Amino acid sequence: MAISREEIFAAADALVAAGERPTLEGIRKKTGGSYTTISPILNEWKARQAVQGAPVREPIPQVVQDKLREVGGEIWRVASDLANTRLAAEREALEKVREEIEAERTEAVELADRLNGELEGLKAQVATLEASEAAAKDEADCLRGELSQVREEAAGLRGKLEASQEQIAVLLAKLTPTSEEPVHETKEKPARTKK
């Protein structure tokens, strides 16, 4: 869900009204959104606050201009030029510092967003691993059940085998001639020879 400039401005105003300093994290807690979205709008809000709080420079009063028209006007021009020169130099230095800070802030915001994304990816991996573990446990339980069934079937087959062996022994005993029974001699036929 995208947040609007007005929501970010309102959140910053609310933090100031509560006696807190408006920060990226403070705004994010109130509005949601990413640091990348909030950062430039918060900078705009801060710039507006700085402009509103800047003192207003009044022009030279008419009375002073009348009395010091020649000298005062020249002094005022020189002083204004000097102040503007200093102001321009200070603005240039401040702009460089602001650009450096903005670059660092942008880098920090991008890093925070990237780490946030990595954290979400790791959470998804953990969830996948947990699901895989649960599936493996279920499969192991199923295999244990099957192994138990196979053991039961093997025990049953052993019992049947033993019973079959006993039946075979009984049958063999019946087929084996005892000493009381006469032994019949069988005449062997002479083997035919091939010509």
* 8 Å CB contact between 12 and 45: yes
As a whole number, mean pLDDT of residues 93-101 equals 88
pLDDT at residue 124, as a whole number: 92
Q: What is the pLDDT of residues 19-59, one digit of tens each?
A: 999 999 999 998 888 889 889 999 999 888 887 765 556 77
Select the more confidently predicted residue: 90 or 1.
90
Q: What is the mean pLDDT of the chain?
A: 83
Tell me whether residue 15 is exposed, middle or buried, using C-beta atoms within 10 angstroms of its C-beta: 0 to 12, 13 to 18, 19 or more: middle
pLDDT at residue 191, as a whole number: 56
Which has the minimum average pLDDT: 31-45, 133-147, 165-179? 165-179
pTM, to two decimals: 0.33
Cα→Cα distances 138→127, 149, 192, Å:
17, 17, 72
As a whole number, mean pLDDT of residues 123-152 equals 90
Q: Between helices 24-31 and 35-53, what is the axis angle to 10°? A: 120
d(CA 50, CA 176): 119
Q: What share of the chain in percent tops pLDDT 90? A: 25
pLDDT at residue 182, as a whole number: 54
Task: State the DSSP string of 26-62.
Answer: HHHHHH---HHHHHHHHHHHHHHHHHHHSPPPPPPPH
As a whole number, mean pLDDT of residues 127-153 equals 90
pLDDT at residue 192, as a whole number: 57
